[in-house]
Structures are given as C-alpha cells and as structure tokens.
Amino acid sequence: SQKIEQNSEALNIQEGKTATLTCNYTNYSPAYLQWYRQDPGRGPVFLLLIRENEKEKRKERLKVTFDTTLKQSLFHITASQPADSATYLCALGARWGGYNKLIFGAGTRLAVHP
C-alpha cells in the first residue's frame, strides 16, 4: 500500500542546533515533494519544493534533500530558534492521470527550547 511516514514523536532540540526531520514514502513515484509548516489552529504554510531530478534545495536556514532511490526526504533547519517550533508536514506530488495530487504525511512536531 502507499504510505508517507514522518516521525510521530515530537522532536525536541536546543536553540541554535540543527533540526532534522525525516519523510519516507513507499509505493509512490512523486514528481516533486513539498514541505509545509503548520501552527496550532492554522492552515499549513508552504516552505520549500524539490523536484524528482533535484538532490538538494536551500532557502535561508532551511535545506531539503530528496533521495528517490531511498524514497526519503530530509528537512533541516539550521541555527534553530524557538519561533521555529511548529508541526512540519511533507507532501508528495503523486501522479494521477494528467495531474499531480498532493498527498500529505501526518507531520512531525518540532519544539525548540531556549
């Protein structure tokens, strides 16, 4: 069956350290992968997109890697801050007919402590 897995346990890290979140998938051939941030009671907000032919993408303190052989994406936040505390969702652009539908993982909650 098709699955997208993110760590269900919260990730607790110290301010200033690098946070690394994992997204694994099975039985998908995604055209791209996206990462979103979601704060409590709010809708997700887009952070980064990486395509199947790209290995790495960066945006300010954020870095995403995409390994289609391992079927895994890693999401890194360097020099983390308490304001980075949120739930982070990965989403696959899964081919459906002539379109791509966005399939989400359950998310990983990140808590950055001062």
Partner 1 sequence: DVKVTQSSRYLVKRTGEKVFLECVQDMDHENMFWYRQDPGLGLRLIYFSYDVKMKEKGDIPEGYSVSREKKERFSLILESASTNQTSMYLCASSPGGGRGTEAFFGQGTRLTVV
| Chain residues in the site for partner 1 (CB under 8 A) | 4, 8, 31-32, 34, 41-46, 49, 51, 89, 91, 93, 96, 98-107
Residue 99: left (phi > 0), alpha (psi -120 to 50), or beta?
A: beta
Closer residue to partner 1, CB minimum distance, 17 or 95: 95
Closer residue to partner 1, CB minimum distance, 31 or 79: 31
Q: How many CA atoms lie within 13 A of 72 on its CB side?
A: 7
- Least distance from partner 1 to the Cβ atom of residue 15, Å: 27
DSSP code, position 54: -
- Least distance from partner 1 to the Cβ atom of residue 76, Å: 19
For residue 77, what is the enclosing H or E element? strand 72-77
User: Residue 26 pairs with which residues in a beta bridge?
Assistant: 3
- Least distance from partner 1 to the Cβ atom of residue 7, Å: 12
